[in-house]
């Protein structure tokens, strides 16, 4: 009897289900798309983990809709993209404007306000000091009152609000115009961790999902150990570059310094790109680290002629002002290489971290006006009649080194290599030697010089008598673009302590088994007067680790 009752109950339930199915009919592709849109709308209007969870709920109905009707295939792909995981710590999923446009076309205004400005470059940091940091981002249209909300780590990240003090700067990315904003966060405490999000004026999925965290700079009197990353010749938009950036993202570095050539080939805004593509700000590149690791970018020869993107994309106003450096467009003329006036960018300044002083220098020049010689004649050979800008970098550097003679540690970063055994570029003999820039740095207590330009890894021994100053060439940050590829180690000079390059070439080092071992960055750890340099290849393997006691 009991069994008969159970069977009857099942039949009743099945009958009711069949009746509803008969009444409503099977779900159409549009019905399934609407279900996906409902979950997607909740996710895109949420924050924290709810963003990903709701977006993931939208995946299956979007796939079913695409199975029923091919016109939903792009929509299904977009939903999967918006719900995708990002393996970098402390980084949310960037939402590409094109993906958001397709979601809006399918779902209507319930997913995204059609009047909203959309982030085309997700936030990235520059100009970090003990009491401030600059948050930079771009949008697809002008965003009046663009703002950043922030607060101490562990809070809701909304205890304070900072607003852009100027309208967005239009920058041309391919055929489209983006608007670049800089928002300064002030009244911060030294060596303190904060979190932030873009304000509601701009839709940015990455900071909605994960509020990035950054730590302010420590005071010169603070001897707490710290680490930083050095990368050079990296802006080629390659898979190798993406892997290097991923390694930096998982490292203990608290900021990044570059040795130049930050974007290939020309260094224009299209080369830099945004979430739609490009060689720097593409979704798999700088968004992995830029939102939480402040960057100080040295200038390279790629981008030297088209200099405005360098000034616009890597602003350092507070740092430049504090060190009385220069970060502006200047006129150069009247040298043997310049028959007429040329305008280039000055990008030289200094800053402190604990016991160390960092010098970001212009040791680069335009290839078509003399490269090594042009750099020397304009920057490092003293005053030039009729050229007020010529020699000012040298004069400033001499004064700043003298003013900081008692600083325990000093590092210098510039593009052209003092010494290198490379097939693509030679040593810069204008800058090398006791009577030139190398000698000036060594006599004034600079401990380590970091260069780029040559696309390999090389560590060089001290070359100035009485000085322990070593130099590194770190030009393997990922470039592999046209003629700009990794270089071979060519020769094995007396100064060359360790070098690896393309095609298994090496000097005083095991030949690399593959080019993946040549693409690299440097992790530099400072603990009191001890400096540890750990080169790390794109697969995360360290090599040639050196510890110095200065």
Using alpha carbons, select from 471, 454, 342, 460 the residue that is nearest to residue 412: 471
Give the pLDDT mean for 294-312.
97
Using alpha carbons, select from 541, 471, 545, 539 the residue that is nearest to residue 242: 539
Which of 5-9, 128-132, 354-358 bottoms out in mean pLDDT, i.e. has the lowest? 5-9
Using alpha carbons, select from 534, 409, 428 the residue that is nearest to residue 474: 534
Asked if the 117-215 domain carries CATH number 2.60.40.380, the reply is yes
Residue 229 — φ and ψ, nearest 5°? -105, 145
pLDDT at 18: 44
What does 308-325 look like in DSSP terms, one character per residue? HHHHHHS--HHHHHHHT-
pLDDT at 23: 42
Q: Where are the domains of the chain?
A: 2-85+92-110, 117-215, 226-549
**Res 96 pLDDT > 50:** yes
**Start-to-end C-alpha separation, the chain:** 92
What count of residues does the chain have? 550
Q: What tens digit of pLDDT does each residue of 414-430 get?
A: 999 999 999 999 999 99
Q: What tens digit of pLDDT does each residue of 351-405 get?
A: 999 999 999 999 999 999 999 999 999 999 999 999 999 999 999 999 999 999 9
Give the pLDDT mean for 43-64.
93
**Res 203 pLDDT > 60:** yes
pLDDT at 86: 66
**Res 210 pLDDT > 50:** yes
Distance between CA atoms of 355 and 525, rounded to whole angstroms? Answer: 12
Q: What tens digit of pLDDT does each residue of 462-490 get?
A: 999 999 999 999 999 998 777 779 999 99
What does 55-74 look like in DSSP terms, one character per residue? HHHTHHHHHHHHHH-GGGHH
Label residue 87 by pLDDT band (50, 70, 90): low
- Token pair, residue 231, equals 């990368």
- Token pair, residue 313, equals 């994309």
Give Cα 516 distance to the centre of its chain.
Answer: 20
**Res 75 pLDDT > 80:** yes
DSSP 228: E
**Res 13 pLDDT > 90:** no
Share of the chain above pLDDT 90, in %: 89
Residue 76 — φ and ψ, nearest 5°? -60, -40
**Res 19 pLDDT > 50:** no
Three-state DSSP class for residue 367: helix
The domains spanning 117-215 and 226-549 adopt the same CATH topology: no
Burial (CB < 10 A; 0-12, 13-18, 19+), residue 302, is buried
Q: What tens digit of pLDDT does each residue of 99-118 get?
A: 999 999 999 988 988 888 99
pLDDT at 408: 97
Distance between CA atoms of 53 and 58, rounded to whole angstroms? Answer: 9
pLDDT at 114: 82
Question: CATH for 226-549, among 3.60.21.10, 3.40.50.850, 3.40.50.300, 3.20.20.100?
Answer: 3.60.21.10
**Res 16 pLDDT > 60:** no
Radius of gyration of the chain measured on its C-alpha atoms: 27
pTM above 0.85, yes or no: yes
Distance between CA atoms of 456 and 458, rounded to whole angstroms? Answer: 7
Distance between CA atoms of 548 and 550, rounded to whole angstroms? Answer: 6
Give the pLDDT mean for 525-530.
96
Q: What tens digit of pLDDT does each residue of 141-187 get?
A: 999 889 999 999 999 999 999 999 999 999 999 999 999 999 999 99
Q: Are 414 and 362 in contact (CB under 8 A)?
A: yes
**Res 514 pLDDT > 70:** yes
**Res 22 pLDDT > 50:** no
Distance between CA atoms of 487 and 484, rounded to whole angstroms? Answer: 9
Distance between CA atoms of 126 and 347, rounded to whole angstroms? Answer: 14
């Amino acid at each position: 009897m009991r069994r008969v009752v159970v069977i009857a109950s099942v039949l009743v339930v099945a009958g009711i289900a069949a009746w509803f199915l008969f009444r409503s009919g099977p779900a159409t592709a549009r019905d399934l798309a609407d279900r996906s849109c409902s979950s997607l709308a909740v996710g895109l209007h949420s924050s924290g983990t709810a963003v990903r969870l709701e977006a993931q709920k939208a995946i299956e109905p979007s796939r079913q809709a695409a199975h029923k009707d091919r016109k939903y295939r792009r929509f299904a792909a977009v939903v999967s993209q918006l719900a995708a995981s990002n393996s970098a710590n402390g980084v949310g999923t960037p939402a590409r404007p094109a993906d958001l446009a397709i979601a809006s076309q399918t779902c209507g205004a319930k997913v995204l306000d059609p009047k909203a400005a959309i982030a085309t470059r997700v936030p990235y940091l520059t100009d970090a000091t003990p009491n401030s940091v600059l948050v930079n981002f771009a949008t697809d249209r002008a965003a009046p009152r663009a703002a950043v909300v922030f607060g101490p780590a562990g809070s809701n990240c909304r205890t304070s609000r900072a607003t852009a003090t100027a309208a967005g700067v239009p920058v041309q990315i391919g055929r489209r115009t983006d608007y670049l904003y800089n928002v300064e966060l002030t009244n911060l405490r030294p060596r303190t961790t904060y979190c932030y999000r873009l304000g509601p004026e701009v839709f940015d999925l990455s900071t909605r999902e994960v509020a990035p965290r950054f730590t302010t700079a420590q005071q010169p009197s603070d001897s707490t150990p710290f680490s930083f990353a050095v990368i050079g010749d990296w802006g080629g938009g390659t898979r190798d570059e993406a892997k290097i950036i991923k390694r930096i993202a998982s490292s203990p570095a608290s900021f990044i310094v570059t040795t130049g050539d930050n974007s290939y080939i020309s260094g224009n805004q299209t080369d830099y790109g945004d979430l739609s593509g490009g060689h720097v700000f593409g979704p798999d590149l700088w968004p992995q680290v830029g939102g939480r690791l402040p960057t100080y970018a040295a200038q390279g020869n790629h981008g030297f002629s088209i200099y405005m993107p360098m000034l616009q994309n890597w602003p350092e106003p507070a740092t430049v002002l504090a060190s009385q450096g220069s970060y502006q467009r200047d006129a150069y003329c009247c040298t043997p290489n310049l028959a007429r006036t040329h305008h280039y960018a000055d990008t030289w300044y200094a800053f402190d971290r604990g016991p160390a002083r960092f010098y970001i220098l212009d040791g680069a020049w335009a290839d078509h006006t003399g490269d090594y010689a042009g750099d020397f004649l304009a920057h490092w050979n003293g005053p030039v009649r009729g050229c007020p800008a010529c020699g000012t970098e040298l004069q400033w550097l001499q004064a700043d080194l003298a003013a900081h003679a008692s600083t325990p540690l000093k590092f210098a970063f510039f593009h052209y290599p003092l010494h290198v055994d490379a097939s693509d570029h030679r040593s810069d003999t204008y800058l090398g030697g006791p009577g030139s820039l190398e000698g000036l740095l060594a006599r004034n207590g600079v401990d380590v010089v970091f260069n780029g330009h040559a696309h390999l890894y090389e560590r060089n021994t001290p070359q100035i008598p009485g000085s322990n100053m070593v130099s590194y060439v770190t030009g393997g940050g990922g470039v592999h673009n046209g003629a700009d590829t990794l270089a071979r180690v060519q020769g094995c000079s007396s100064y060359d302590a360790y070098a690896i390059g393309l095609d298994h070439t090496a000097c005083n080092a095991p030949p690399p088994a593959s080019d993946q071992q040549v693409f690299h960055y440097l992790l530099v750890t400072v603990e009191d007067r001890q400096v540890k340099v750990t080169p790390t290849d794109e697969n995360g393997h360290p090599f040639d680790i050196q510890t110095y006691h200065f």
